[in-house]
A and B are shown apart, each in its own frame.
With several copies, the nearest count.
Chain A
Amino acid sequence: MNNYMKVEFVAKSENESFARVTVASFIAQLDPTVDELTEIKTVVSEAVTNAIIHGYDEDEEGRVVLECEIKNSEVELRISDDGHGMDNIDEATQPLFTSKPELERSGMGFTIMENFMDALSVTSEYGKGTTVIMRKKFNQNQPTCN
């Protein structure tokens, strides 16, 4: 099964939960387990929150773009913003690194994305924006109950 969607929305924190449901209902076609869906929703939250808070400083002129592609049983998520960008991706993706300690951010966003997904890639240019690409295979093992 192949499918594709792209959603674009204003950089408002209210839209984080919108983004989560949007991806969840798209992925629901693959009939994942509850745990798998929770994981996907968590990584979407982390990436979208980063775009809104770090990319755009919650400036509502900013637009977040989220693409989701299903190829057979593999899901690819691409989350991008045209916001501030970063100049040191290696540093930013370290566990516990945060540039906004005042907001009580945990610095664990990228670590969570890396752990819950099969692959994570981050590209960013200072002053231009950021794109996060993640991939995960579903239904690796046959369903045990249902």
Chain B
Amino acid sequence: IGEIQRFLRDDGTIKVSRSLKETNQKIRQKKDELSKEFGRTPSISELSEAMGMPKEELVMALEANQQPQSIYETVYE
């Protein structure tokens, strides 16, 4: 139980940026799995159900690995 409590506490204090990136990787895996299974890309609701995650969190996490595409980096790096 102490372990779980520590896990929960750590989970709450990690930065959103890191949490979203980790979730993003899991979503990508799940998306590939479902695409193979269905023979087409899954819808947002299918993916959110498969991930056990609300649509809104899915949408935010989907953006997480897009950051390097931001014009800031395109223009200034």
Where the two chains meet, the residues of A that have a C-beta atom closer than 8 Å to any C-beta of B are: 13-14, 16-18, 20-21, 24-25, 28, 31-38, 41, 45, 49, 52-53, 103-104, 143-146
Contacts and interface: CB of A to CB of B under 8 A. Distances in A.
Contact of B17 (A16, A28, A103, A144): A28
Contact of A146 (B18, B20, B41, B62): B18
Interface majority SS (helix, strand, loop, mixed), chain A:
helix
B3 interface: no
B63 A34 contact: no
Nearest to B69: A45
Nearest to A139: B43
B13 interface: yes
11 contacts: A17-B63, A28-B44, A28-B59, A31-B45, A34-B14, A34-B19, A38-B62, A53-B75, A144-B13, A144-B40, A145-B38
